[in-house]
Structure 1
Amino acid sequence: MSGNAAPSAAGEGSTRTRLDRGRGALGPALELVHTGRAPTRAVLTAELGVTRATAGAVAAELEALGLIHVDARPGAAAGSQGRPSHRLELAEDGPVALAAQVHADGFRAALVGLGGRLVATAPGCETVDADPAKVLGSVVEAGAELLRETGRRCVGAGLAVPSAVAEPEGTALNPLHLAWPAGAPVREIFAERVRAAGITGPAFAANDVNLAALAEHRHGAGRGSRDLLCVATGHRGVGGALVLDGRLHMGSSGLALEVGHLTVNPEGRPCHCGSRGCLDVEADPLAFLTAAGRDPGPEVSLLQQSNDLIRNQYADPTVRTAVQALIDRLGLGLAGLVNILNPDRIILGGLHRTLLDADPERLRAVVADRSLWGQSGGVPILPCTLDHNSLVGAAELAWQPVLDDPIAALAQI
C-alpha cells in the first residue's frame, strides 16, 4: 500500500472517536490543572483515563485556547522513577474573571485567573450605600478599570454578598448588615451593571461564605476533602457552607446551612431572626469586642479590631476570657453540625480562624466532648488558608462555564 493512500473508513472512524473523546475531556482536563491535581501530562493521562496521545491532544488544545502552558521539555522530579513527563502550568497571561465582594465594612473588586490566582485588585471602599444599585455600579466600574489597565480578556463576573441568595431568582433575602432592602435582586442588578460596563461573559451572585468554601475546597485548606464544612465570621454575623461529594450544597432554593441561627446560648442576646443566643450574635467580631469590654471604634473594621486585640493583647485576662467564651460558643455550634452532617473536615475563616489559632486545643476539645462523631475519633479542624477566599470563590462562579466547556464558553467572549 502506498504511503499516500487514503485511510480506511474504520481508520477515519477511530480518528474521529479520539477527537470527540478529546473534546469531551477538555473541561475535566482544565479542572484538573485548575485545581492543581494534574501538574504533568502523565498525571493528566491517568486522571482522565485516556491514552497518552489523547491527553497530549487535550493539553495542546487547552494551550491553543490560551488557558495553560505545556513545558516543551519533559522532566522528572528528583528521585522519581519512570518516564519524564511534560509539566502543565496555567497560562500567566490568560483570561481572567471579574470578582466582586460586598460586606458590612466595604466592597472590593479583583481580577482572578485560573488556579484562584489574584491578578489585580482595586483599592477597597469602606462605605456601603443603602442603595444596592449604587454600590454594585461602583464595584463593577472598579473592576472594569482593572480590565482596561491590564488588557485581559474577561470570561465573566461573580459577586459575593453577606446574605442568603435565593435561587433561581438571585435575590438577597437578608442583607441585614448592609441596610439593603430584603429581597434585593442583586444578581439582576449586578448583571445589568456588568453589561453596561461593556464586560463580556455571564454574571453570577451568591452568598460569601458559600463562595469561600468553594474556593477553599478547590485551592485551599479544603482541597482533597469530600464532605467539607466551612464556618466563618468576617465582619458581622456568622455563615456556614457545606461541600458534599465535591460540590457545593445549596439546598432546594439556595438557602442551605444558615448556621448563624443555631442557638448556642439560650439566655444570650436577641437575634434579628427573632430567636435568642444564636451564633450570629454570640460568636461574631461585635460579640467578641463586647465580651472583651471594648467599644468598637470607627477607624478599622470590627474584624481587624478583634484580630488585633487577640494577637496583641492575649495576655490580658479580659481578652483571654472573651476568647474562651467565644470558643465555647463556637465549639457548641460546631458539635451540633458535626452530629448532623458528619463532615470529614471543618475549616474556619475570619475571626474563627483567629480563635482557632489562639487556643486550638480548647476548641477541638469542646467539639469532641459535645459531638457523637467527635468522640469516636475527632474531625480535623483547620484554618482557611486563602486570604481573599470569597473573592476567589466569586471568580469560580464565572470560571465554571469555562471548566464545563472551554471552547463554547470562550467563543462567547
Structure 2
Amino acid sequence: MTPSRTTRLERGRNALGPALELVHTGRAPTRAVLTAELGVTRATAGAVAAELEALGLITVDSRPGGAAGAQGRPSHRLAVDAGGPVVLAAQVHADGFRAALVGLGGRIVATAPGCQDVPADPGHVLAAVVEAGAGLLAESGRRCVGAGLAVPSAVAEPEGTALNPLHLAWPVGAPVRELFREAVRDAGILPGTPGSPSAPGSPGAPGGPAVFAGNDVNLAALAEHRHGAGRGARDLLVVATGHRGVGGALVLDGRLHTGSSGLALEVGHLTVNPDGRPCHCGNRGCLDVEADPLAFVTAAGRDPGPEVSLLQRSRDLLRTEYGDPAVRSAAHLLVARLGLGLAGLVNILNPDRIVLGGLYQDLLKADPERLRAVVAERSLWGRSGSVPVLECALDHNSLVGAAELAWQPVLDDPLGTLAG
C-alpha cells in the first residue's frame, strides 16, 4: 500500500468520530456540509459516511429530492439510523425512577417509568431501573452499546460517588456508578458482560463496560446543548428545579464544566433570602429551599401533601389557577428569588444563554417578561446586553444527557467501540 493511500485511510478513520458527532448533533445534514465541516475532500467524506453507514450508525440518502427551482444535483442526505444501536439511560429522582432506550440524535426509543418510594439502599433501586431497561431491550431486540445514569446529587470524580443525595435517603458518598455498573453487568445487557455475547474491542471488553453516572442537571444541560434549547450557545447556563431542590450546570465551549472533581455549579446553595429557611447545607435562605416546588406550594397557601406530587401540583397551580391571587403572589415571590440567583450567576459567568427546566419553565411561561426583567435589573451583563432566557426544549432531558455519556465512547471512536 502506498504512503499516500495509507495517509488517506488514516485521515478517514480519524474523521469517523468527528463526522458521527456532526450527524448526531444535526450539524451535518448533508455530505456537502460534512465535507466542509471536516475540511476533507468529497471522496474522503463519502468514504467516512459509508463507513458509518456500514457500522449501522447513520443512513446516507444518495438520491434526495431537490428543492423546487434548485440548480444542480442535491447533496447526499445524512441522518442517524433510526434502527441502529441504543444505549440504556436511567434516572433516579425523589419519587422513583425512569429507564429509557436512547438512540443517536438524542431520540428516545422507549421508556419505562417506575414510581415508588426510593429505598435507602441505592443498590436496590439501581437494580430495579436496570431490570426495567433490560425489559425494554428484550422487547426491542436492539443492540445496547452503553449505559448512563442521572442522579439528583453531585457526583464526585473520579470515584463516581453521590456526595449529597439530599432528597433521597441514600448514604452520603454512595458509590452509585459502581452499583450501576454491577447491575448492568448482572443483567448482561452489554457486549462482554454475563449473559451476553463477548465482542473484542467492545464496551464490554476487559477495560470494563461503558457505564457512566452524573448529576441530573449537568446531564440535562449536556442534552439541551447538543439537541435542545442550548444548541449553538457557546457558554450555556442551565438552572432547573425538579421534584425537590434546585440544580444548575454550565457548558463552556461545548463541554460540560464540572470543576476539579465534578462538583461545580451547585447553584441551589446560592443565598437569596438571608433570613429564610434553614438549608440542608447548613446555610439559610438558599435557592434550594426558597425556590423549589415545596416553597412554591407553601407560599401559595396550599397543603404540601404527599411529597411525590409536589412538582406536578406546582405545575398544575401555575397552569390552571394562576388567576388566584395567592398563586400569583407565590409565583412572583419565586420569580424574585430565582431572578436574584440568576443575576448573580450572570455577573460571575457571563453566559450567552440561560435555559430553565422543571418548574421554572412554567414560571417563565406564566409571566415571561417579569423574570427576564429581574435578571436584567439585578445583573451588570443583563443591563449591558440582553441574555436570552429560554425554556428547556427536550422532554426527559436528564435521560437524554445520561445517554450522551454512554454514547461518548462511540462518538470518540466508532470503529474501535463497535467493530469486532
Pairwise TM-score range, normalised by the shorter structure: over 0.9
The equivalent position to 1:329 in structure 2, one of 307, 324, 337, is 337
Contact 1:75 1:86 in 2 (8 A): no
The answer to whether the aligner puts 1:387 opposite 2:377 as a matched pair is no
Give the whole-Å Cα distance in 2 for the aligned partners of 1:62 and 1:144: 26
Percent sequence identity is 82
Give the whole-Å Cα distance in 2 for the aligned partners of 1:124 and 1:76: 46
Contact 1:212 1:392 in 2 (8 A): yes
Give the whole-Å Cα distance in 2 for the aligned partners of 1:299 and 1:160: 20
Partner amino acid, structure 2, of 1:99? A
Give the whole-Å Cα distance in 2 for the aligned partners of 1:295 and 1:78: 60
Give the whole-Å Cα distance in 1 for the aligned partners of 2:19 and 2:341: 39
Shift of 1:28: 0.3
Partner of 2:21: 31
Shift of 1:351: 0.3
The answer to whether the aligner puts 1:317 opposite 2:325 as a matched pair is yes
Shift of 1:180: 0.3
The answer to whether the aligner puts 1:73 opposite 2:63 as a matched pair is yes
Partner of 2:34: 44
Partner of 1:195: 185
Give the whole-Å Cα distance in 2 for the aligned partners of 1:330 and 1:373: 17
**For residues 81 and 207 of structure 1, do their structure 2 counterparts lie closer, same or farther at Cα, with a shift above 3 Å needed?**
farther
SS of residue paired to 1:301: helix
User: Which stretch has the larger CA shift, 13-22 or 370-379?
Assistant: 13-22
Which ranges in structure 2 are unaligned for 5 or more consecutive residues? 191-202, 204-209
Give the whole-Å Cα distance in 2 for the aligned partners of 1:24 and 1:183: 39
SS of residue paired to 1:66: coil
SS of residue paired to 1:225: coil
Give the whole-Å Cα distance in 2 for the aligned partners of 1:345 and 1:400: 24
The answer to whether the aligner puts 1:375 opposite 2:383 as a matched pair is yes
Contact 1:368 1:374 in 2 (8 A): yes
SS of residue paired to 1:100: strand
Give the whole-Å Cα distance in 2 for the aligned partners of 1:242 and 1:59: 32
Matches within 5 A, 1:239-254: 239-254=247-262
Instruction: Tell me the alpha carbon deviations over residues 129-153 of structure 1, each in whole angstroms, 9 at most, x when there is no partner.
Output: 1110000000001001111111111
Give the whole-Å Cα distance in 2 for the aligned partners of 1:247 and 1:32: 15
Shift of 1:126: 2.8
Give the whole-Å Cα distance in 1 for the aligned partners of 2:228 and 2:72: 30
The equivalent position to 1:293 in structure 2, one of 283, 296, 301, is 301
SS of residue paired to 1:349: strand
Give the whole-Å Cα distance in 2 for the aligned partners of 1:272 and 1:81: 64
Partner amino acid, structure 1, of 2:293? P
Shift of 1:298: 2.8
Matches within 5 A, 1:146-295: 146-200=136-190, 201=203, 202-295=210-303
Give the whole-Å Cα distance in 2 for the aligned partners of 1:123 and 1:267: 39
The equivalent position to 1:308 in structure 2, one of 311, 316, 319, is 316
SS of residue paired to 1:99: strand
- The two structures have a TM-score, normalised by structure 1, of 0.95
Shift of 1:297: 2.8
Contact 2:97 2:113 in 1 (8 A): no
Give the whole-Å Cα distance in 1 for the aligned partners of 2:113 and 2:350: 40
Q: How many residues are aligned here?
A: 402
Superposed structure 1 runs of 4+ greater than 6 Å apart: none
Contact 2:114 2:129 in 1 (8 A): no
Shift of 1:104: 0.5
